[in-house]
Amino acid sequence: MISNLIASIILMIYSPNPPMFWAYIFFIMASILLLGAAYSRRSFGFTVMYLIYIGIDGVGFLKTLT
pTM of this prediction exceeds 0.85: no
Q: What is the pLDDT of residues 5-49, one digit of tens each?
A: 899 999 999 988 899 999 999 999 999 999 999 999 999 999 999
Question: Looking at residue 38, what is its pLDDT?
Answer: 96
> For residue 62, what pLDDT is reported?
94
Q: Are 27 and 50 in contact (CB under 8 A)?
A: no
- 1 pLDDT higher than 80: no
Burial of 66 (C-beta count, 10 Å sphere; 0-12/13-18/19+): exposed
Contact 20, 60 (CB under 8 A): yes
Cα 1–9–13 angle (5° rounding)?
A: 175
Sign of CA dihedral 39, 50, 63, 24: negative
Q: CA-to-CA distance for 10 and 31, rounded, in angstroms?
A: 17
The whole-number pLDDT of residue 44 equals 96
